[in-house]
Amino acid sequence: MLRRVLTAACAGIALTACSVTAGDPPPPGERVVTLVTHDSFAVRPEVLDAFKRETGITVKTLASGDAGELTNKLVLTKGNPIGDVAFGVDSTFASRALGEGVFAEYAAAGADRGAQRYRLDPPDRLHAVDVGDVCVNVDVAALRDKGEPRTYADLADPKYRDLLVVEDPATSSPGLAFLLGTIAEFGESGWPEYWSKLKANGVKVVSGWEEAYTQDFSGSSGKGPRPIVVSYASSPSAEIGDDGAPRTKALLDTCYRQVEYAGVLNGAKNAEDARKVVDFLLSEQFQAEVPGQMYVYPSREGVALPEAWTKAAPLPDEARALPASQVDANRERWVQQWRSLVQG
């Protein structure tokens, strides 16, 4: 999380710490739903205010780290949940949350308008709110003479030596997604050899997306030294030049699909109103906010994307993905194996 925001308030894309809480603390007796989110949740306050006018419900948000931290917190507090609804558990962590019984069953209104494409379990405990594919991004101008890579394998070509920066999968959601993408591409037996090639080819590993994209990547505002970075399919839409053309490009053959989910927490103090908040997150009103506020793609079908996305940030037709149960069963082992191989 798959989080991953570019907003005026946060001044960055994805995984920037930014949360929104509507208004001042409500007076006693007011209907309040606590929405536990990852740090990249963003919505305009007036949208939450409109929801309050329609329903009488005040949404109070509680930012709880990235997708992994959020999931861990929800699991550790499942006996005494810290909120009523959670948003931001992504497809790399969903099976753990489901296996631990964090979420309650609820057939959300509006789920049949697109969210069902990313359904995880028949009891309908989690509902897809957005999709944010992690892809390799390149600085188009910096690679004009050398030529752009296209595939995972191309990144190990010696002509791209010392040009790639990636995030640590142990500390970064996009870093983990990129690792999972290479496992999906090369298989259980082949991915270690691939990473050995990347290491030999001078890949740089940093702790998180913000450092990779805004400091090391040459195509961002930081004007770093490396023209190839792990980021998001939507990232180029934030890099439109004065001529109207995107300065960067996502390599759509290197994308791993991340889906972010919302659900009612088991043991929620206000379960009835919590269900209405989940409905709201899948509504056309909220889904229209998703691209501009969180720079990910809405799960609901028929929601218009910003004009820049049509040219610069098309959602890949196909993206790699591993079954959530396979990721849950192997994630820690894969990360430890990666650490030994790349950082050992």
Instruction: Report the pLDDT value the prediction gives residue 16, as an integer from 0 to 100.
Output: 31
CATH number for the domain that contains residue 228? 3.40.190.10
**Residues 88, 143: one domain?**
no
Nearest-5° Cα angle at 117, 114 to 122: 115
Looking at the 3D structure of the chain, how many domains does it have?
2
Instruction: Report the pLDDT value the prediction gives residue 35, as an integer from 0 to 100.
Output: 98
**Residues 153, 116: one domain?**
no
| Average confidence (pLDDT) over 27-34 | 83
E-state strands within 25-65: 31-37, 57-63
**Percentage of residues in the chain with pLDDT exceeding 70?**
92
**Residues 331, 237: one domain?**
yes
**Residues 69, 113: one domain?**
yes
**Residues 174, 36: one domain?**
no
Q: Coil, strand, or helix at residue 168?
A: coil
Computed on alpha carbons and rounded to an integer, the radius of gyration of the chain in Å comes to 20
Q: Which domain holds residue 186?
A: 134-256+315-343
Q: How far is CA 182 from CA 53, 104, 254, in A?
A: 47, 33, 9
Instruction: Examine residue 120 and state whether it is found in any structural domain, yes or no.
Output: yes
Render the burial of 171-185: b for 16+ CB within 10 Å, e for the rest.
ebbbbbbbbbbbbbb
Cβ contacts of 254 within 8 Å, gap of 6 or more:
135, 136, 151, 152, 155, 181
Is the CB of residue 139 less than 8 Å from the CB of residue 227? yes
**Residues 243, 159: one domain?**
yes
d(CA 41, CA 24): 18
Strands 85-90 and 248-250, sheet pairing: unpaired
- Could you please report the per-residue DSSP string of 273-291? HHHHHHHHHTSHHHHTTHH
d(CA 156, CA 207): 21
Nearest-5° Cα angle at 20, 291 to 263: 70
**Residues 148, 295: one domain?**
no
Cβ contacts of 106 within 8 Å, gap of 6 or more:
124, 125, 263, 264, 275, 278
**Residues 180, 218: one domain?**
yes
| Residue 26 pLDDT greater than 80, yes or no | no
| Average confidence (pLDDT) over 220-231 | 92
| Residue 176 pLDDT greater than 60, yes or no | yes
**Residues 299, 325: one domain?**
no
Instruction: Examine residue 23 and state whether it is found in any structural domain, yes or no.
Output: no
Q: Which tokens hold the place of 88?
A: 């931001």
| Average confidence (pLDDT) over 90-104 | 91
**pTM metric for this prediction:** 0.81
Q: What is the pLDDT of residues 265-304, one digit of tens each?
A: 999 999 999 999 999 999 999 999 999 898 889 999 999 9
Q: Which tokens hold the place of 213?
A: 């994209």
Instruction: Report the pLDDT value the prediction gives residue 174, as an integer from 0 to 100.
Output: 87
- Average pLDDT score over the chain: 89
Q: Model confidence at 14, in pLDDT bands (50, 70, 90)?
A: very low
